[in-house]
Chain A
Amino acid sequence: MNAPVAPPSTPMAQAMLPASAPFLLQLEGIQTFYGVLQVHFGLNLHVCRGEIVCLLGGNASGKSTTMKVILGLVKPRAGRVLFDGQPITDLPTPQIIRRGIASVPESRRIFPEMTVRENLLMGAYARADREEVRRDYEQMLERFPRLRQRLDQRAGVLSGGEQQMLAMARALMSRPKLICMDEPTMGLSPLFVDRVLDLIQHINQQGVTVFMVEQNANLALQIAHRGYVLQNGHIVLEGAARDLLGSSEVRDAYLGGDAR
């Protein structure tokens, strides 16, 4: 697959609203539990418009649960989530999606028994503007020529890297303001890792804000603007990506595990 090439100005860029609220996404004092196990201990973070922000952390740090809280799949016991200045904490997932958040779930989660075409169009499920959807669909196929070749194949037979491309294309089909990615490089060959990273940057340059959860700190920090490091449900570090990359504290957070 070629590196994605697309005209600089796209509908996605236009979809961006003027900056009415200071942050596009904001998490305030989130506390989450799985039964008796507490996952988040008062989590605070924010994502500004146009940013790539990554949430880093080792195993069982609560990264993926953060993603689920944003998407409304897990409801926090305390705290709130604001999107575009509006609280979305209590909204059901489909309504959160309709507000302009798209998700690239962990391990892709494409619909394996549906065709590539159907998968792509499922991404636009929440949209009513059929004509525009068609345009975006065509554009997506131009950007991902590999998917065009496989339009009528079951998505389950695609390779891991192709599935990741499909999952990202599917997310873009909703014309999101914010795209949430959970470990987008996990399990991919080095070649595809590179492509996925380029693609994330490209999407971002077109005006889509990106929030990604990654275990792979070295990679994520190379493309992100800012990063947070989560450890045992606490944010232990935050800062500009260039400061975090190679910092000893990040390593402590990953390898130490006893700080908190």
Chain B
Amino acid sequence: MPEFTLRTLADQLVNGLVIGNIYALIAIGLALIFGVANLINFAHGSVYMIGAYVGWVCVTWLGWPLGPTFIVVAVACAALGVLIERLGLRRLQSEARIAPLLATIGISFALDQLVQLIFSPNPQSFPSPLPATRVMLGGVSIGALDALIAVITVTSAAMLFAFLRFTRLGWALRATAQDREAAQQMGVDVNAIQALTFAVAAVLGGIGGVMIGMYFTSVYPTMSYGAMLKGFAANLLGGLGSVPGAVIGGLLLGLIETFGVALLGSTYRNLFTFVILIGVLVLRPTGLFGARRAMPPEPLTGTFVANSRPVRVPRFVVIGGLVAAVLLPFISSNPYLLQIFTNAWLFAMLALSITLVTGTAGQMSLGQAGFLAIGGYASALLAMRLGWPLELSLLAGAAIAAALGTLLTWPVFRLRSQYVALATLGIGEVINQIILNWEGLTNGVLGLSNIPPLSLFGLPIIETSPIYWFALAMLVVAALFQWRLMQSHLGRTWRAMREDEVAARAFGVSLNRYKALAFIAGGFIAGLSGAFTAHMYSYINNETFAATTSILGLTMVILGGMGNMSGAVVGAIALTALPELFRPLADARYLIYGVVLLLLVRFRPQGLLGTV
């Protein structure tokens, strides 16, 4: 543990404030958008990342000085912000309330992948064009960049304040945030104001991106994800939608992180973010400074899913498909094809799990990969450390995933719609961070290797075809399990809860119990899939089940139709197998996922086969 002198303490304080300033910039943007559009903008991190890249291009390729660079970044990001508002929100305002959130997830997928395709996924070095001299100020060492960041963030915040406080458009923006309909009745074009808000937020985010790029001397496509979560955490800390709260939340988060890292080490950096995220959501969802709004007399739950009549898949088609799947290894012995479909079956299990939790029970889960991870690690460790037979460790892994995952998700049960999405995302990350930091158990970043291979009754299963059949069999068992539940009173109760929590409660449905049951059943299926994956690969680490996996699974579910089991399988095949079969598409797969998600939300919100 590093020794703390007064000087290091002061240096940490400066570091924390500098980082906190940038978090504040990101959080302000999120707060503005949440205030005006009541939307948690998942594409905000991508804007920040693109801002960083635009700045990097200007400085390192074009050799521009910082002044013009910031102007170009601001203009580019403003345009991007307006585009996101158009694609992700404007046309979706009459749809279910979760639709714009899903659209922004789609946009962020597409943007992140685009940048990867253009600039490669590797980090690019971003040397700061400023002199490296540091000034000692009262025993604290301050670099030119530190000073620049402080000046720019404070100036931006001051300009924003002046804009909101003293200009006609700023008033219109605040009025729209406070009472959209009343603002319209004053003659405010609220759509234009909404676009303006996205532009302003994007400019702040983009500038934050450039500065963080210079601060850490690199830019990389996946920086978007972390920044987005930091922004959310800072924003929640200060109260969603509150601009002053976002500033204070950002600074606090920066300080907590910096001191935490100094105390515990850098791998803990993100853990603080997520613990704060979840802690605030659960303990004080209005944040430290959030305004409490009076509850309406008859609380409304927005319709979570689109009304639709599901396509009835005839039984012979299901059986025919199953027979074809069983016979596939005889038709084609191409191991690559079989691997792809094995993967598709494992994804189909994840999709079944998400369609149960999110589609049937209405709990927007962005953290389902956490269940995969728990199942994978539990089964692998039981087999490795305790020498359990595979059949037992698979089942135990799934059961542990169901129990532990549900326990961790428990605090989320009191939240609704967008907040559930945010909290489950955070919980998925917390699971990931625990895996990363609990080295004694999980081996940290190195991961677990030499996991015992799949086997059945002592016979190892290592050939491609048997593995394929094994995975298919697991999927069939999982599907039958879920089908059985759907046909019982549980299916009905879950769907009622999804449609209208208030009415369901009024008829005796205790929400916590049925949410927990959904997570237990869904967690078991996902855990099984994760456990299988661990033994199949014989190696896993904390990145095997990344957060994007959760969102990919959700996209499959939306593609197939919420709560629709056939739809989940079809969605899994479509999104796992198709990009692989058309090889050139594979590199752009997340771009495709993003666009698919965006198009679905806009044009076919009930999915291909319809909501059940």
Interface residues in chain A, defined as those with a beta carbon under 8 Å from any beta carbon in chain B: 71, 73, 92-94, 97-98, 103, 105, 109-114, 118, 121-123, 125-126, 170, 174
Question: Nearest 8 pairs between A and B by C-beta?
Answer: A126-B187, A97-B187, A109-B182, A103-B185, A93-B184, A94-B189, A94-B187, A111-B178
Q: Is the CB of B174 within 8 A of A126?
A: no
Q: Is the CB of A105 within 8 A of B187?
A: no
Find chain A residues with CB under 8 A from B182 CB: 105, 109-111
Find chain B residues with CB under 8 A from A170 CB: 186
Q: Which of B510-535 contact A (CB under 8 A)?
A: none
Q: Is the CB of A125 within 8 A of B178?
A: no
Residue of A nearest to B187 (CB): A126
The answer to whether residues A125 and B184 also contact, given A109-B179, A114-B174, A114-B175 and a CB cut-off of 8 A, is no
A113 to B182 Cα, complex, angstroms: 13
Q: Which of A105, A109, A125 touches B168 (beta carbons < 8 Å)?
A: A125
Q: Is the CB of A174 within 8 A of B187?
A: yes
Please classify how large the interface on chain B is, using the bins under 10, 10 to 19, 20 to 34, 35 or more. 10 to 19
Q: Is the CB of B186 within 8 A of A125?
A: yes
Find chain A residues with CB under 8 A from B168 CB: 121, 125
Q: Report the minimal beta-carbon distance from A20 to chain B, rounded to whole angstroms.
A: 23
Find chain B residues with CB under 8 A from A97 CB: 184-187
The answer to whether residues A121 and B184 also contact, given A94-B189, A109-B179, A111-B179 and a CB cut-off of 8 A, is no
Find chain B residues with CB under 8 A from A94 CB: 184, 187-190
Find chain A residues with CB under 8 A from B216 CB: none
Give 5 new A-B contacts, CB below 8 A, not counting A122-B183, A122-B188, A170-B186.
A97-B186, A98-B187, A112-B178, A125-B172, A174-B187
Q: List 14 A-B contacts (CB under 8 A).
A: A73-B181, A94-B187, A97-B184, A97-B187, A103-B185, A109-B181, A112-B178, A113-B178, A121-B171, A122-B183, A122-B188, A123-B186, A125-B186, A126-B186
A40 to B237 Cα, complex, angstroms: 46
Q: Is the CB of B178 within 8 A of A105?
A: no
Residue of B nearest to A68 (CB): B181
The answer to whether residues A73 and B184 also contact, given A112-B178, A113-B174 and a CB cut-off of 8 A, is yes
Max chain B C-beta neighbours (<10 A), residue from A98, A105, A122, A123: A122
Q: Report the minimal beta-carbon distance from B323 to chain A, rounded to whole angstroms.
A: 44
Q: Report the minimal beta-carbon distance from B350 to chain A, rounded to whole angstroms.
A: 36
A170 to B182 Cα, complex, angstroms: 11
A25 to B429 Cα, complex, angstroms: 58
Find chain B residues with CB under 8 A from A71 CB: 184-185
Max chain A C-beta neighbours (<10 A), residue from B172, B183, B185, B188: B185
Find chain A residues with CB under 8 A from B189 CB: 92, 94
Q: Is the CB of A111 within 8 A of B185?
A: no
Residue of A nearest to B181 (CB): A73
A112 to B177 Cα, complex, angstroms: 11
Q: Report the minimal beta-carbon distance from B229 to chain A, rounded to whole angstroms.
A: 28
A111 to B187 Cα, complex, angstroms: 14
Q: Is the CB of A122 within 8 A of B181?
A: no
Q: Report the minimal beta-carbon distance from A239 to chain B, rounded to whole angstroms.
A: 29
Find chain B residues with CB under 8 A from A109 CB: 179, 181-182, 185
Q: Is the CB of A122 within 8 A of B186?
A: yes
Q: Is the CB of B175 within 8 A of A122?
A: yes
Q: Which of B311-329 contact A (CB under 8 A)?
A: none
Q: Report the minimal beta-carbon distance from A163 to chain B, rounded to whole angstroms.
A: 12
Find chain A residues with CB under 8 A from B178 CB: 111-114
A110 to B184 Cα, complex, angstroms: 12
Q: Is the CB of A93 within 8 A of B185?
A: yes
A121 to B178 Cα, complex, angstroms: 16
Residue of A nearest to B174 (CB): A114
Find chain A residues with CB under 8 A from B190 CB: 94
A118 to B179 Cα, complex, angstroms: 14
Q: Is the CB of A125 within 8 A of B188?
A: yes
Find chain A residues with CB under 8 A from B174 CB: 111, 113-114, 118
Question: B186-230 interface mask toward A, CB cutoff 8 Å, 1 = contact, 0 = none?
Answer: 111110000000000000000000000000000000000000000
Q: Report the minimal beta-carbon distance from B244 to chain A, rounded to whole angstroms.
A: 11
Q: Report the minimal beta-carbon distance from A226 to chain B, rounded to whole angstroms.
A: 24
Find chain B residues with CB under 8 A from A103 CB: 185
Find chain B residues with CB under 8 A from A174 CB: 186-187
A73 to B187 Cα, complex, angstroms: 12
Q: Is the CB of A122 within 8 A of B171?
A: yes
A113 to B185 Cα, complex, angstroms: 17
Residue of A nearest to B192 (CB): A94
Q: Report the minimal beta-carbon distance from A232 to chain B, rounded to whole angstroms.
A: 21
